Amino acid sequence: MLLQRATWPGVQAYLERSQGVVIPIGSTEQHGPTGLIGTDAICPETIAAGMAEEDILVAPTLSIGMAQHHLAFPGSITLRPTTLIALVRDVVSSLASQGFTHFYFLNGHGGNIATVQAAFAEIWAEHSLAGRASGLKLRLANWFMGKRVLALGSELFGDAEGAHATPSEISLTWHAYPEAERQAAMSPKRAPSGPIRDASDYRQHFPDGRIGSDPSLASRAHGQRLYEAGLADALADYQAFLATH
Ligand code: NI
């Protein structure tokens, strides 16, 4: 069930059978010469759409995240960490006020991890400092770290998976949007690796936007397999999460 295509009586009825909700979260940032700027949002959104067919409520995607280091590339948009913390708190608080207890953030961007965990810490602190139990269960799951996805990515791409604009994530977006499939000349074939600092430094060290990856290995066919692996990982992990009390 997709929240944006549900009615309030439909959500009320859902709450009687489940108090869990999936919230896809991503980023809006360059993904090299061939990757879509929405890659990090599209990937978890696509997998979550599959979860929605299993009578799991899926909230609208939080599609802008932590991308300051990509701002030297046109089209990238970032929030400040404090803004994302406030966004996550407000989304959780809204749905918690109606009876939701289990919040499963399906994440597509490694750069979001620290800040979303900080948001969870803020939510816990708010309740602890007030001396009350929240009853809330909060989980951040990275689709690209699922065991089936990791095994398949390793089998398909080996070391060429890299860290940013990876063939795995780009393949998955092409599964979702086949018309986006494209190739471009990239040199070196496999991008350099190194630490991430600010936007100016990033563009200097990673001039075409990639880190450690060879996205020329991406394909729609690989994307189909990665989708199936990602959905299986997410469904298993979500069901285990729902069982936690
Ligand atoms: Ni990405």
Ligand 1 centroid–CA 144 distance in Å is: 9
Q: How far is the CA of 31 from the centre of ligand 1 (A)?
A: 6
Distance of CA 27 from the midpoint of ligand 1 (Å)? 8
Indicate the DSSP class of residue 180: G
Distance 243 CA to ligand 1 centre (A): 30
pLDDT in tens, 130-178: 999 999 999 999 999 999 999 999 999 999 999 999 999 999 999 999 9
**CA 241 / ligand 1 centre spacing (Å):** 25
Cα of 57 vs its chain's centroid, Å: 16
Instruction: Please check the confidence at residue 223 and state whether its pLDDT lies above 90.
Output: yes
Which residues surround the ion ligand 1 when the cut-off is CB under 5 Å?
A: 39-40, 169
What is the tens place of the pLDDT at every residue in 47-69? 999 999 999 999 999 999 999 99
Q: Taking residues 220-239, report their average pLDDT.
A: 98
Q: Residue 1 Cα, ligand 1 centroid: separation in angstroms?
A: 26
Task: Return the percentage of the chain with pLDDT > 70, whole number.
Answer: 100
Residue 244 has pLDDT above 90, yes or no: no
pLDDT value for 86 = 98
Which pLDDT does position 40 carry in this prediction? 98
**8, pLDDT greater than 90:** yes
Tens-place pLDDT, residues 96-137: 999 999 999 999 999 999 999 999 999 999 999 999 999 999
12-49 pLDDT tens trace: 999 999 999 999 999 999 999 999 999 999 999 999 99
Section 225-239 average pLDDT: 98
Distance 239 CA to ligand 1 centre (A): 25
Q: What is the pLDDT of residues 180-195, one digit of tens each?
A: 999 999 999 999 999 9
pLDDT of residue 6 exceeding 90, the answer is yes
Span from the CA of 128 to the centroid of ligand 1 (angstroms): 34
In sequence order, the 6+-apart residues with CB closer than 8 A to the CB of 51 are: 22, 58, 106, 231, 234, 235, 238
Residue 43 alpha carbon to ligand 1 centre in Å: 9
How far, in Å, is the centroid of ligand 1 from the Cα of 25?
12
Say whether domain 3-158+230-242 belongs to CATH 3.40.50.10310.
yes
Q: What is the pLDDT of residue 245?
A: 80
- The sign of the torsion formed by the CA atoms of 230, 231, 234, 237 equals negative
- For residue 191, give the 3-state DSSP assignment: coil
* CA-wise closest residue to 65 among 107, 35, 36, 118: 107
Contacts 24+ apart (CB under 8 A), 130-135: 134/96, 135/101
How far apart are the CA of 163 and the centre of ligand 1, in A?
A: 8
Q: Calculate how far, in angstroms, residue 222's C-alpha sits from the geometric centre of ligand 1.
A: 16
* CA atoms lying within 13 Å on the CB side of residue 123: 26
The one-character DSSP state at 132 is -
**Ligand 1 center to 230 CA (angstroms):** 15
Question: Residue written as tokens 């069982």?
Answer: 243
Is the per-residue pLDDT at 93 higher than 90?
yes
Contact between 208 and 191 under an 8 Å Cβ cutoff? The reply is yes
